[in-house]
């Protein structure tokens, strides 16, 4: 039986219409985009067309889009690049305690270099405290970085309000929207958001590509040195195929956004409603919060999350206990713990993440498998 793939927050299948175009693109546009001859110009046009497509879903100018290797590089560049920007004398970074590992690891590195990092708390619903941000802001803060949508719970933050608060003390504002770009319509031109990170493989495009949108006037030091690619900010011959796939995914999202959101929301509700009806004692984490349309984080008391995930895999359902970047960790989710979820409950939590290529039949089959697997594991544990 074909596996039922419910781990789209970790990565997504490439859209078939993109996949069908890649071989032709790879064979036809093989030139170096920095070369001035006809083959180079052909490759350059594909990149600039893709840059324009990405800018249209982010509400920014094409010249404000810089292609990277993915979300982690984009996040690191935003934080590290702002900290080490020429002329920056401020030494404090503010972020939240529920960020992706790419942000938290970079923040930890900056702390080792002598920077001060303030980690904003969240409430029981996973919402970052605006009051804590207001209370933490000083003139020494060079950047506030808060993710748009959490990769484990799907909770959407009030990014515009947080950005306004940051700007009230002349701090830059960055958001990791790797999980939020489909559900959120951005307008970088008309907002106080200064930088925004996205990743191609979370949007049905290829792995190994992402982008950082940087508003004109924001000063960052480069992370990769060498040639003059990406306006001299990010050296290295461009990943043409990855960039093309991201640009095409942006076109599809712009065209089909409402249908994608509606479809994912219906399937997520179908899964949650059925599981709540059939399994006693479970909890949808952050159920009361505004969430992206495809992520459902569910706690199953009496069940170990890793055991549940592995048994689901054996029965044809792909899910995860949290971020793919923390795969192999036996510790409970730092996100759920920050929300006040007891450790004994957090260890029994599984994330199901749904895409627009899932079907009602898959959700119904997955519900049967999840229900039976939880019951079996509870019998074993005498819950």
Q: What are the structure tokens assigned to 244, written together?
A: 């093309």
Bridging pattern class, strands 317-318 and 172-176: unpaired
The DSSP line for 188-253 is GGGSS--EEEEEGGGTTS-SS-EEEEE-TT-----SB-SS-TGGGTB-S---HHHHHHHHHHHHHH
Q: How far is CA 20 from CA 27, 248, 378, in A?
A: 13, 12, 45
* CA pseudo-torsion sign 287, 291, 296, 302: negative
Q: Give the separation between CA 223 and CA 212, rounded to whole angstroms.
A: 12
Give phi and psi for 199, each to the nearest 5.
Answer: -135, 135
Which stretch of DSSP H or E encloses residue 77? helix 71-83
Bridging pattern class, strands 295-299 and 283-284: antiparallel
Q: Give the separation between CA 276 and CA 140, rounded to whole angstroms.
A: 48
Helix (H, G, I), strand (E, B) or coil at 268: helix
Helix (H, G, I), strand (E, B) or coil at 92: strand
Taking a C-beta distance cutoff of 8 angstroms, is the pair 349, 305 a contact? yes
The residue whose two tokens read 């450790």 is 343
Taking a C-beta distance cutoff of 8 angstroms, is the pair 196, 175 a contact? yes
Active site residues: 325
Q: Give the separation between CA 30 and CA 50, rounded to whole angstroms.
A: 16
């Amino acid at each position: 039986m074909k596996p039922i793939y419910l781990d789209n927050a970790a990565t997504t299948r490439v859209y078939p219409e993109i996949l069908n175009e890649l071989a032709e693109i790879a064979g036809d546009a093989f030139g170096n985009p920095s070369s001035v001859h006809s083959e180079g110009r052909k490759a350059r046009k594909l990149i600039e067309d893709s840059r324009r497509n990405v800018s249209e879903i982010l509400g920014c100018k094409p010249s404000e889009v810089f292609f990277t290797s993915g979300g982690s590089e984009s996040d690191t560049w935003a934080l590290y690049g702002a900290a080490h920007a020429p002329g920056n004398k401020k030494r404090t970074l503010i972020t939240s305690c529920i960020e992706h590992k790419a942000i938290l690891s970079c923040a930890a590195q900056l702390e080792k270099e002598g920077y001060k990092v303030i980690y904003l708390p969240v409430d029981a619903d996973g919402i970052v405290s605006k009051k804590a941000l207001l209370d933490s802001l000083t003139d020494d803060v060079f950047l506030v970085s808060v993710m748009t949508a959490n990769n484990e719970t799907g909770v959407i933050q009030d990014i515009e309000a947080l950005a306004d608060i940051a700007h009230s003390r002349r701090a830059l504002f960055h958001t990791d929207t790797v999980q939020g770009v489909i559900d959120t319509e951005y307008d970088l031109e008309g907002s106080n958001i200064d930088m925004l990170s996205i990743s191609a493989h979370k949007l049905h495009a290829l792995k190994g590509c992402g982008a950082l949108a940087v508003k004109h006037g924001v000063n960052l030091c480069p992370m990769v040195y060498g040639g003059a690619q990406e306006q001299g900010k990010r050296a290295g011959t461009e990943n043409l195929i990855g960039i093309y796939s991201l640009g095409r995914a942006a076109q599809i999202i712009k065209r089909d956004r409402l249908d994608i959101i509606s479809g994912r929301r219906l399937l997520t509700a179908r899964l949650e409603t059925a599981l709540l009806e059939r399994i006693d004692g479970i909890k949808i984490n952050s159920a009361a919060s505004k969430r992206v349309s495809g992520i459902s984080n569910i706690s199953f008391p009496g069940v170990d999350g890793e055991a549940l995930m592995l048994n689901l895999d054996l029965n044809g359902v792909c899910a995860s206990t949290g971020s793919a970047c923390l795969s192999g960790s036996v510790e409970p989710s730092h996100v759920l713990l920050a929300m006040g979820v007891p450790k004994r409950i957090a260890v029994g939590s599984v994330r199901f993440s749904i895409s627009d290529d899932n079907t009602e039949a898959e959700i119904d089959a997955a519900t049967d498998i999840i229900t039976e697997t939880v019951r079996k594991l509870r019998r074993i544990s005498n819950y």
